[in-house]
Amino acid sequence: MSVPTAVVVASPRPRRAIRSETTRWLLAVPAAVVVLVAIVGPALAPYDPTRVIGPPGREPFGRYALGTDSAGLDVLSRVLVATRTNLLIALAVVLAATLVGLVLGAAIGMNESRRGPLGTLARAVNRFVDLFTAVPAVIVGLVAVAFFGGTVTVLVVVIAVVLAPIQVRLVRTEVLRVRGEAYLEAARMAGFSELRLTVRHVLPNSWGAVSENMPVIFGMAVVLTAALGFIGVGLPRPTPEWGSMISLGASDAATGRWWAAAFPALALIVTVAAASALGTALRARRA
Amino acid sequence: MKRWFARRRWWLLRVAALPVHLAVFALVVFFLVRAIPGDPVLTVTGGQIDPSRYEEVRTALGLGGTIWDQLGRYAANLARLDLGSSLLSGRTVLEEFASRLPATLELVTISLVLTLLVSTALGLLVLLRPRNVVSRVVSAYSRTAGGVPDFCLGVLFIFVFYASLQWAPAPLGRLDPGMTAPPAVTGFPLVDALAGGRPDAFVSMLAHLTLPVLVLVVAQSAIFVRLLAAALTDALDSQPTRFMIASGAGRRAVVWSILRRALPPMVTMAGVIYGYMLGGAVVLESLFGLGGIGQYAVDAVNSADLPALQGFLLVIAALTLVVFLVVDLVVMILDPRRRSGRTEVSA
């Protein structure tokens, strides 16, 4: 079982090295805009996002800035409110998945070459994590959310569990790299405990690669949340959420009324692209 | 005899790992179902159940007796390939999947083959003619890999090719309305249409498959071209290639040798993409009404059909594990260096 990590982990070096400081800051601008919308957006929403406020299928750029969907809900208000929901879920997923990644990845990396039961356990957990990545994330998410119910907590936990293996593998690779460094050997000879070695030396030196991958995980979490919403296992309707909005808008799009699906889809794509640009900026910092 | 085993140790170990992996997955699914909060019987029936039937449903869900009894029965049932019965239709879950899986496999396999062909051609173009206009567009698009989710592309394509241009048929099923489905022989819709002597149904099915296949190919090619370009660049920038060029080999021979050396990582990637496409198919089948196992699973969510969902997870897990086994074995044949008993070789 060898899923190439290149699929899920950001490429180690950008195609062209970004040298200028200004370019790096500019790359972070889209992400800042999206976060700003998530913070102030709901306050700017002109209507109640869960209430019918007008005739269904109204065109955008008229009385309703982004039109109304097939149920007569205001698309702009819903996109604005959904931005906060989707971003908060993805943010929680990134934090949870990275925490799991640090703990499990360090535990596996520090122990897997050991003899005895601890080493066997570490190798077994490692194999299990590898095995877990084999099943498509959407499918695990679909079944798990169906079992436990579509609430924010369940979504966060399920998506974090599905994406955590990526961070676990990344941390493990980093830990294995750091473990061979001379300063670690020196610290060990100075009589530091393994736990102290891990927390004081191994993890801080692994943090760079892990933090640079956080925007990638964020993007994947956003897409996965929306995919689950799209197939109807996410938050219950009419909670504003991009995936379920796109799904509702899909039948509209089939009759030529594109706006109910296009604007949440645009918000989703811009967010993923912003996260990706932020990731590039973070990687450029080290290059 | 001993030497025979020793020489084939890796192959035997890899094949023997499959049932172990399956068992681990089955165990995870078992505990996942038991972790459902509240009373699953009430969840499944929506709280409206005749008290006299309560025990019956509970047994049907495999929830009677102690946890060890349950585990024993679960293992025994799985060994007999008994995944239980769907609560909705009463048919066995295995039957439900057997009749629907071929349709999904058909969609995924056609998409995979097309993706491989298109991406290999584009990847080579990007490698050999990096300044070409097409190459620039392709490499720019491939850098967005995964940024435009397949369901967004699906809605976009429905709007453009069905609603606006009217080139594609309505995204409502596999056949034109009014057309009867050909009798199921193999279960693969396209094959059945040909075998049943129904060229009209065949053409109609192709027309209905075009958009979902296009979505999967466009969405997954981005990832595949990106990975392929990396693999090809690695093969290009290697000692054997330098040696070949230095010793005066022709351009054609060098390109072939690069392709040959990029083949093992390509096969691994194809396996990964197959998994992604299965996930994509689940989402797209509902959007286009194609009626494979993905749409069945989504419907099972809406009717809280627990045995069907549990079976869905097990079937998909088995399918992906078998695909990864095949991928690993093919890679071993292509690259003997990976056989030396090491479990991990960086791609």
In this structure, the number of other CB atoms found within 10 A of the CB of residue B310 comes to 24
| pLDDT digit string, tens, across residues B94-110 | 888 888 888 899 899 99
Residue of chain A whose Cα is closest to the Cα of B331 = A2
SS3 A195: helix
Region of residue B333 (left: phi > 0; alpha: psi -120 to 50; beta: else): alpha
Which three-class secondary structure string do you get for B183-248?
A: CCCCCCHHHHHHHCCCHHHHHHHHHHHHHHHHHHHHHHHHHHHHHHHHHHHHHHCCHHHHHHHHCC
In a domain, A117, yes or no: yes
Measured at the alpha carbon of residue A39, what is the angle toward residues A216 and A37, in degrees to the nearest 5?
70
Q: Is there a contact between B147 and A232 if contact means CB atoms under 8 Å apart?
A: no
Q: How many CB pairs under 8 A join A and B?
A: 152
Distance, CA of A102 to CA of A168 (rounded, Å): 7
The structure tokens 């453009």 sit at B160
Distance, CA of A32 to CA of A135 (rounded, Å): 34
Crossing angle for the helix pair A117-132 and A75-111, nearest 10 degrees? 150
What's the complex ipTM? 0.85
Q: Residue A132: which of A160, A152, A153, A95 has the closest Cα?
A: A160
Distance, CA of B203 to CA of B213 (rounded, Å): 15
Q: What's the domain count of chain A? A: 1
In a domain, A84, yes or no: yes
* Cβ–Cβ < 8 Å for B186, B84: no
* Cβ–Cβ < 8 Å for A268, B162: no
Which of A34, A148, A230, A237 would you mutate first to test chain B, the one with the most B CBs within 10 A? Answer: A230
Helices and strands, counts by H and E, chain B: 14, 0
| pLDDT digit string, tens, across residues B180-222 | 777 777 778 888 887 777 878 888 888 888 889 999 998 888 8
- Those residues whose C-beta lies under 8 Å from the C-beta of residue A85, and which sit 6 or more positions away, are A152, A235, A239, A240, A241
In chain B, where the domains are located: 2-79, 99-338
Nearest to A134 among B162, B309, B324 (CB): B324
User: What is the CATH architecture assignment of B99-338?
Assistant: Orthogonal Bundle (1.10)
- Domain residues for the domain of A246 are 65-286
From first to last of its 287 residues, chain A has per-residue pLDDT tens of 444 433 444 444 445 556 677 777 888 888 888 888 888 888 887 888 877 777 777 778 777 777 788 777 888 888 899 999 999 999 999 999 999 999 998 888 888 888 888 888 988 888 888 888 888 888 989 988 888 888 899 999 999 999 999 999 999 988 888 888 888 888 888 888 888 888 888 888 888 888 888 998 999 999 999 999 998 888 887 888 999 999 888 888 888 788 888 889 999 999 998 888 888 888 877 65
Contacts of B262 in chain A (CB under 8 A): none
Dihedral (Cα; A141, A146, A152, A158), 10-degree rounding: -30
